[in-house]
Amino acid sequence: MKSLILYLAIFLAGLTYPQTADTITYQWPYAPMNLQREVTGTFGEYRSTSVEGHYHNGTDVPAAAYTPVLAVLDGTVIVAYDDGATGYDSYVRIGSTINGQTKYLTYYHTRPEVTVGQNVVKGQMISRVAIDHVHIIDYRIGGGISTSHINSIRPGGGLTPYVDIWKPRIRYVKFLVDNSSTQLSPSSIGGKVDIIVHVEEQNGLASSSMNNGTYEIGYQILSADSHSVVYNPPDNGSRYRYYNIPGNNYVNINYYQPESSTSQHVYNVTNGTGASAVASTQVVTNNYFNAAIFPFGNYIAKIFTRDSRGNSDSVLIPITISEIDQIPTAAPVLKYIKRDTTNYFSMCWSAPPDSDLKGYRLYYSTDGANYLLRDGENVLKKNVTTVRYSYSQTQPLYLKLVAIDTNYIPNVSLQSDVYGLKMSATGNRVLLVDGFDRYGSGGNWNKSYHDFIIRYSEVLPVGYDCAHHSAVSSDLINLNNYSAVFWMCGDNAHPYNNLDSLSQIRIKEYLMSGGKLFISGSEIAWDLVASEAASSADSAFLRDALKSRFVNNDANSVSVLGMQGSFAAGQSVQFGLTSQGSPYIEDAPDIIDTLNGSDFVFKYSEANGAGVFYSGNFFGSQTSGQLIYLAFPFEAIGFETQRDALMTSVLNYFGIISSESEAYKVNDPDTEGIISVYPNPAIGSFSIDVIISEPDNSVLKIYSLLGEEALTVSLSNLKTGFNRIPVVIPSGTGLSSGVYICTLRSPSSIYSKKFVVAK
């Protein structure tokens, strides 16, 4: 006990947070309150119930449905929300005043038995367990409810009594080339190295209490005899300490995403700048162990982990540092993917400049989640940058490239962006332009590649091609070949080229010829007018092409409402919320105003403009064109249903479809596929929208990501064409929380779409 107290004293003394540590304690939320309970989910562990993953922001304490939940502190009810469905999203939030400061606690996954404004006392029933546990969210005293989440089983505070007699266990350790999936042998380590560690923390005897996330983890490099520390990262090697959590957009830098899930927590212990810095900044940057700076020879890699009560585990792994080529080539840059003729498409990319380039590997997918190798470096040799393939399916096709070098054990580059196309030959065809190059450097997206085209493709009922913005400015792609152009800018801004001068010329020519342009991005107006690179020509483009005036670079809002009189009247849209499925946080979109005949399509509030639309002449042309400009990123709209409704309205406004029903119109008997799963995430019940050409011979099934069949969906009373199929998740099925694949099998083909179940 003395050693544990000493450990906690040293540990707490070393914490450097932006705010004072929280020492408030409270008992357990079930009767009797002084009885310790099992913990089935710990603070800061990985959650795979959203596409991009996120941190678990509370502590899960199990109990049967309808169990009374008791207030653990005196206070006032701030929120009492019932979702009206399963209760999964129901919660009560209590605000307590302690020493003149506010302390919030949220009891999530519980149905309220109190009302907002009601005063409650410790031990009073405030809600009931909705399904099988309460998710306790603790907020640092004096903090708000956004970035001040703290661990409720932290040292010196939170749930009490809490005695932990079980130690965490390190299950495996891997060494990878930095920022890649290329695994290294411990007997041949060199260059920049990521150390990947799977840890299981035990917080009880139940099986669900044995696979939790750890509290602290780190590494050191020791001499071959393990008697001395050769390399000691900051904080004596401690990389993460989950007293608080970083921002959710860093979760896949903190964790190794390919092997992390809700029940398996795999850490990249070389990323970040040390536990204290991560706790203080709530930022995790890419980092590595730089073996290249050490003499060749034998060493020991020590990996250690501790729980919040000082129980620990460590492993010593002999490694040999040697001279090996671990540096992959730069990633290839996709230029375009476009339909050529019936059943054929071509794609083009630019080659990386590396002298040891051998060739490329091309991967394809029809669902945007599961990719297969189409051709490798022996076919796509280093001098190949354009290829042509046949493809006759009507469902979208997604493609990505990596570059391979000539090393004996080939190094694989980072992947390219994911581009795609839909081969539909009938009706209108649109172009998706990728103008989103920014990552890191103050941006909200942290990877050098993205698959945001899929966010458009999921809700586009017509055929489309895809191109990088440089392919437009260099005349590899002609905008006038398309019925509409969708230009994605994300949060691109200086120093990246957001609508460079050549792109502006091509857009101007397109609008003058009667083109229809949909453009979205959070920094477009600011970049064209207020950035240090802005020119008078840029300002003129915002005024005359985008029919807008820049007002402010931070709307301080992530919600917009469609204006009366616009094509999106009454539509409520949220964006930049990873909890709703957005791929990244968008926290500072531009405010814009109408200009030169445009009207508002969206506003953040009654006064602040979020988007404009315009039909008429551009630059004195006699041909009428159309414009929709959103000052927030379309791909950052989390809910697919909101993206789908907005896309349908856009296509109606452009005259590409005549009604919502025509968006799902069957143009020929071979057209079929899965349109959407709603809601996504699915909770309890959901619906699947499909187009079916042969109703009597089609099968709809749901599979796990491991290919295990989880559910066969009943198909009855279907008609040829569009169908909305309701699905209720039966109790006792294999559909626990996680990511699934919905698959429609017809006599001619198989179609699939990924979705999430949250329970």
The domain that holds 493 is classified in CATH as 3.40.50.880
Q: Convert the pLDDT of each residue in 334-380 to its tens digit.
A: 999 999 988 899 999 999 999 999 999 999 999 998 999 999 999 99
Instruction: Report how far apart, in Å, the C-alpha atoms of 727 and of each of 382, 711, 730 are.
Output: 49, 10, 9
Q: How confident is the model at residue 145 (pLDDT cuts 50, 70, 90)?
A: confident
At residue 274, does pLDDT exceed 70? Answer: yes
Integer Cα distance of 545 and 616 in angstroms: 11
Q: Convert the pLDDT of each residue in 573-601 to its tens digit.
A: 999 998 888 999 888 899 999 999 999 99
Q: Is 128 helix (H, G, I), strand (E, B) or coil?
A: strand
Q: Are 103 and 24 in contact (CB under 8 A)?
A: yes
Q: Are 548 and 577 within one domain? A: yes
Q: Are 539 and 624 within one domain? A: yes
Q: Are 483 and 429 in contact (CB under 8 A)?
A: yes
Q: Parallel, antiparallel, or unpaired: how do β-strands 484-490 and 516-521 relate? A: parallel
What tokens does 661 get? Answer: 């029903």
Residue 238 has a pLDDT of 97
At residue 223, does pLDDT exceed 50? Answer: yes
Residue 453 backbone phi and psi in degrees, to 5: -55, -35
Residue 165 has a pLDDT of 94
Specify whether the backbone of 655 is left (phi greater than 0), alpha (psi in -120 to 50) or beta. Answer: left
Q: Are 267 and 309 within one domain? A: yes
Residue 166 has a pLDDT of 94
Residue 733 has a pLDDT of 61
Q: Are 643 and 670 within one domain? A: no
Integer Cα distance of 402 and 412 in angstroms: 7
Please name which of 269, 208, 271, 279 lies closest in space to residue 241, comparing C-alpha atoms: 279
Q: How confident is the model at residue 658 (pLDDT cuts 50, 70, 90)?
A: low
Integer Cα distance of 661 and 722 in angstroms: 8
Per-residue DSSP letter, 660: H
At residue 739, does pLDDT exceed 80? Answer: no
Query: Counting Cβ atoms within 10 Å, is residue 691 exposed (0-12), middle (13-18) or buried (19+)?
Result: buried
One-letter amino acid at 245 equals I
Q: Are 226 and 318 in contact (CB under 8 A)?
A: no
Q: Is 630 helix (H, G, I), strand (E, B) or coil?
A: strand
Lowest-pLDDT choice from 216-225, 404-413, 569-578, 738-747: 738-747
Angle at 677 between CA 671 and CA 682, to 5 degrees: 165
Lowest-pLDDT choice from 245-259, 533-547, 682-696, 745-759: 745-759
One-letter amino acid at 413 equals S
Integer Cα distance of 188 and 175 in angstroms: 10
Measured torsion, CA atoms of residues 438, 443, 445, 451, in degrees rounded to the nearest 10: -30
At residue 10, does pLDDT exceed 60? Answer: no
Instruction: Report how far apart, in Å, the C-alpha atoms of 456 and of each of 231, 309, 432 are.
Output: 47, 47, 8
Residue 241 backbone phi and psi in degrees, to 5: -140, 115
Residue 164 is assigned to a structural domain of this protein: no
- At which of 159, 187, 205 does a domain end? 159
The domain that holds 359 is classified in CATH as 2.60.40.10
Q: Are 380 and 298 within one domain? A: no
The domain that holds 35 is classified in CATH as 2.70.70.10
Q: Are 314 and 302 in contact (CB under 8 A)?
A: yes
At residue 15, does pLDDT exceed 80? Answer: no
Please name which of 62, 270, 156, 262 lies closest in space to residue 756, comparing C-alpha atoms: 262
Mean pLDDT of 567-574: 91
Please name which of 67, 62, 126 lies closest in space to residue 94, comparing C-alpha atoms: 126
Q: Are 184 and 413 in contact (CB under 8 A)?
A: no
Integer Cα distance of 712 and 522 in angstroms: 42
Q: Are 466 and 604 within one domain? A: yes
Mean pLDDT of 395-423: 92
Q: How confident is the model at residue 759 (pLDDT cuts 50, 70, 90)?
A: low
Please name which of 232, 227, 210 lies closest in space to residue 304, comparing C-alpha atoms: 232
Residue 670 has a pLDDT of 43
Largest CA distance in the chain: 86
Highest mean pLDDT among 180-194, 224-238, 674-688: 224-238
Residue 468 is assigned to a structural domain of this protein: yes
What tokens does 158 get? Answer: 């939170």
Residue 57 has a pLDDT of 95
- Work out the mean pLDDT of the chain and round it to a whole number: 89
Beta strand segments in 146-227, E: 149-150, 158-159, 169-177, 183-184, 192-200, 216-223
Residue 688 is assigned to a structural domain of this protein: yes
Q: Are 344 and 473 within one domain? A: no
The residue that leads in pLDDT, 507 or 437, is: 507
Residue 661 has a pLDDT of 37
Q: Are 185 and 263 within one domain? A: yes
Mean pLDDT of 103-116: 97
Q: Are 359 and 479 within one domain? A: no
Integer Cα distance of 367 and 264 in angstroms: 24
Per-residue DSSP letter, 215: S
- At which of 626, 660, 694 does a domain end? 660
The domain that holds 239 is classified in CATH as 2.60.40
Mean pLDDT of 129-137: 95
Lowest-pLDDT choice from 262-271, 559-568, 627-636: 559-568
- At which of 613, 634, 660 does a domain end? 660
Q: How confident is the model at residue 247 (pLDDT cuts 50, 70, 90)?
A: very high
Q: Are 492 and 393 within one domain? A: no
Mean pLDDT of 159-178: 94
Q: Are 501 and 445 within one domain? A: yes
Please name which of 538, 517, 535, 711 lies closest in space to residue 616, comparing C-alpha atoms: 517
Q: Are 242 and 199 in contact (CB under 8 A)?
A: no
Integer Cα distance of 261 and 14 in angstroms: 30
Q: Are 367 and 468 within one domain? A: no
Q: How confident is the model at residue 754 (pLDDT cuts 50, 70, 90)?
A: confident
Highest mean pLDDT among 177-191, 268-282, 706-720: 268-282
Q: How confident is the model at residue 130 (pLDDT cuts 50, 70, 90)?
A: very high
Q: Are 154 and 279 in contact (CB under 8 A)?
A: no
The domain that holds 670 is classified in CATH as 2.60.40.1930
Contacts of 424 (CB under 8 A, 6+ apart): 394, 462, 463, 667, 671
Its pTM stands at 0.55
Q: Are 332 and 401 in contact (CB under 8 A)?
A: yes
One-letter amino acid at 253 equals I
Residue 407 has a pLDDT of 83
At residue 464, does pLDDT exceed 90? Answer: yes
Query: How many Å from the N-terminal Cα to the C-terminal Cα in the chain?
Result: 39
Q: How confident is the model at residue 3 (pLDDT cuts 50, 70, 90)?
A: very low
Residue 712 is assigned to a structural domain of this protein: yes
Residue identified by tokens 């107290």 is 5
Q: Convert the pLDDT of each residue in 416-463 to its tens digit.
A: 999 999 987 566 899 999 999 888 766 788 888 999 999 999 999 899
Q: How many structural domains are present in the chain? A: 5
Q: Convert the pLDDT of each residue in 697-735 to its tens digit.
A: 788 888 876 667 788 887 777 778 777 888 887 766 667
Residue 665 has a pLDDT of 37
Residue positions counted in the chain: 759
Q: Domain residues for 317? A: 169-321
Residue 26 has a pLDDT of 98
Contacts of 255 (CB under 8 A, 6+ apart): 46, 53, 265, 266, 267, 268
Mean pLDDT of 319-323: 90
Contacts of 619 (CB under 8 A, 6+ apart): 508, 511, 512, 544, 545
Residue 667 has a pLDDT of 35
Residue 351 has a pLDDT of 95
Looking at 487-604, list the stretches that DSSP marks H as alpha helix, in order from N- to C-terminal side: 501-512, 524-529, 536-544
Mean pLDDT of 129-138: 96
Residue 724 has a pLDDT of 80
Residue 147 has a pLDDT of 83
Q: Are 528 and 538 in contact (CB under 8 A)?
A: yes
